Every structure is written in C-alpha cells, then in structure tokens.
Amino acid sequence: MSRREETVEIPQGLPEFEPGWVWLAGAGPGDPGLLTLHALNGLRQADVVVYDALVDQSILAWIKPGAIADFAGKRGGKPSPKQRDITLKLIEYAKEGKKVLRLKGGDPFVFGRGGEEALGLVGAGIPFRIIPGITAGIGGLAYAGIPATHRDTNQAVTFLTGHDQTGLMPGAINWQGVAQGSQVIVMYMAMKHLASISEKLIEGGRSPAEPVGIVCNASLANQDVLETTLGTCAADAAAAGIEPPAVVCVGEVVRLRSGLDWMGAMSGRILRSDPLGLSSSRNVDAG
Ligand code: SAH
C-alpha cells in the first residue's frame, strides 16, 4: 500500500489517534448521522473497533480498510461475553500498540458500562479518551417527535433502567418517589418488566390515563412508535409486537408528538401546532 493510501485525513481541530490508546465512544441510537465528529474521527483512524450489538452496521462501514472489527455483544442467543473479558481485550489490544476504538450504543456513560471499562483501563495504566454519544433516551425520543423537556409540561426528567444486572426489576428504585417526583420518566431496558413497572407507578400515584410513548429501533429505518397509556402500555406493546431495543417515555411530553412528529410529517402526517391545546390560555412570554 502506498504512503498516500495509508494516510487518513484528520479534520482540522480533531485529535490524532495515538497507538496504545483506547477511545471509548458512543455511537448514538443508530442513525449514522448521529455520530459525533470525534467518534467518526476515531472510526477512520482505529486499528481495531470493539463494538456492541446496538451499533448499526451502517456505522461500521466507516471503519478503515484492513482494520479489525471485533464484535463484543450477544450473538444468536449465546450469553454475552463477561464484562471483565471485554475490558481485558481492550487492554490487550492497547498493549499491542493498537489504536483501539471501543464503540457502544448511545452514550457510553448512560446505562452503558462505560465507567466500568474505563476504570479497568485506569487500573492497567492504559491512556483513554471518552467520547460521549447521543443517548437513546433523548435522541431516540426526538426521532419520535417527543422532547425530553418542554416548558408547558415538565421541569424534571428521570432516566431509569427497567432491569438490573440479573435481569430482575431494579431493587434500588424508589418507585413511589419516582412516581411523585418526576413529571417525565424515561426508561431504558423496560420492556421485560413493563407490566410491573407501570403498576408500581400507578400505585405510586400516577394516573392510568397518563400518556406513554414507546419508541422501538429509534432513528433506524425500522423505527416504530406506539402511543399508549400507563394503564394499558404493557398489553398494548405486547399486542403490537413491540420488541427491544425500545425506550419508554411516561408523561405529558408524549402529547407533543402530534405536533412534533417530523418523521411522520415526511410521510404525510399533518402536524398540529397546538398539541397541548393551550393556545387560548397561553401566556406568551415576551422575553
Ligand atoms: N448506552 C445506551 C443504552 C444502552 S442500554 C444509550 O445511551 O442509549 C440498552 C437500552 O437502550 C435498550 O434496551 C433500549 O432501552 C435503549 N436503546 C438503545 N438504542 C435504542 C434504539 N435505537 N431505539 C430504542 N431504544 C434504544
């Protein structure tokens, strides 16, 4: 290969990938356009890319010719590799002097075990860079036309996981506290226990009529959105055949989708400019 072909152009202002380093990057929810420039810069320079199941194939197409693409996720029903083994693999590649890109779905520090892997690198004395990504609980909702916050609906939002390390309902969540304290609740990995979770939230004081949006395969060509209610979401999701990966959003923000479903608009949906029905009472803020 000639020298010219080997050289990867690094856009101005972006770092050069040093051999022996690990870049721990988020790939966003799926659409390659949601990669950050840092992640793309890493993809184009890396000698090896260790990626998870939720990283879309279209993103892997950016890997430089001849580089190794090493899958670290769950394959065909087999158990996922142990977290320790993945960290050891990163350390090994780095010690070989490779430029190692660890690519994770969404943001590596949001329910992504990025912290665990980075601490393993610290322990082994491997230099690393963290590249945040667009998390499914924000960017995925935006692709469904659901804002995480909106002045007329919420001043707080809670992100939670619907199952713990063992696959059970997370034991450390105070469901009543969440139900009463957070106007909008965004849930990751919540499909398995959706029936119990929605029950807990209703017991904690939320209305069964409260709107719920479930966004499946957010930002991908097969994105699917279900608008339902807290009381019926588990049954509706099962009836609609909604499968993970999906983010579940509970709260009044879901109503905004009838005005903000920009993807639906591209295929002909007529959007409402006043989805919350506030136009008559609205106090227009001049500032
Ligand atoms: N670090 C990731 C989350 C990993 S946990 C992030 O920041 O987004 C895996 C969970 O993320 C899935 O069960 C699902 O709840 C959510 N998720 C990830 N990608 C998604 C997508 N494209 N569409 C919907 N949900 C997604």
Note the pTM of the prediction, 2 decimals. 0.93
Same domain assignment for residues 222 and 146: yes
Same domain assignment for residues 106 and 143: no
Residue 253's CB is within 10 A of a number of other CB atoms, namely 25
Percent of the chain with pLDDT over 70: 93
Q: Is pLDDT above 50 for 1?
A: no
Catalytic residue among 31, 52, 56, 261: 52
Take atom 2 of ligand 1 and give the residue whose Cα is closest: 106
**DSSP-based three-state secondary structure for 15:** coil
**DSSP-based three-state secondary structure for 194:** helix
| CB-defined site of ligand 1, < 6 Å | 29-30, 54, 104-107, 110-112, 135-136, 140, 188-189, 215-220, 244-247
Please state the atom number of ligand 1 nearest to the C-alpha of residue 223.
23
**52 catalytically annotated:** yes
**How far out from the chain centre does Cα 90 lie?**
22
Q: What is the mean pLDDT of residues 67-77?
A: 82
Same domain assignment for residues 161 and 218: yes
Residue 84 near residue 124, CB atoms below 8 Å: no
Q: Which two three-digit tokens encode residue 3?
A: 């020298």
- Confidence class of residue 77 from pLDDT cuts 50, 70 and 90? low
**CA 178 to each of CA 9, 156, 182, 200, 232: distance values in angstroms, whole numbers, following the listed order:** 48, 11, 6, 10, 19
Q: Which two three-digit tokens encode residue 101?
A: 């890109």
Q: Higher pLDDT residue, 103 or 12?
A: 103
Tell me, what CATH number does 124's domain have?
3.40.1010.10
Residue among 31, 111, 113, 185 whose CB has most ligand 1 atoms within 8 A, to mutate: 111
Same domain assignment for residues 196 and 85: no
Quick one: which of 133, 118, 144 has its CA closest to 263? 144
Catalytic residue among 56, 99, 189, 261: 189
- Confidence class of residue 75 from pLDDT cuts 50, 70 and 90? low
Same domain assignment for residues 125 and 147: no
Same domain assignment for residues 162 and 197: yes
- Provide the pLDDT for residue 3: 42
Parent domain of 119: 22-134
Question: Residue 148 falls within a domain, yes or no?
Answer: yes
Domain tally, the chain: 2
pLDDT digits (tens, 9 = 90+) for 214-261: 999 999 999 999 999 999 999 999 999 999 999 999 999 999 999 999
- Provide the pLDDT for residue 156: 96
Take atom 25 of ligand 1 and give the residue whose Cα is closest: 246
- Provide the pLDDT for residue 36: 97
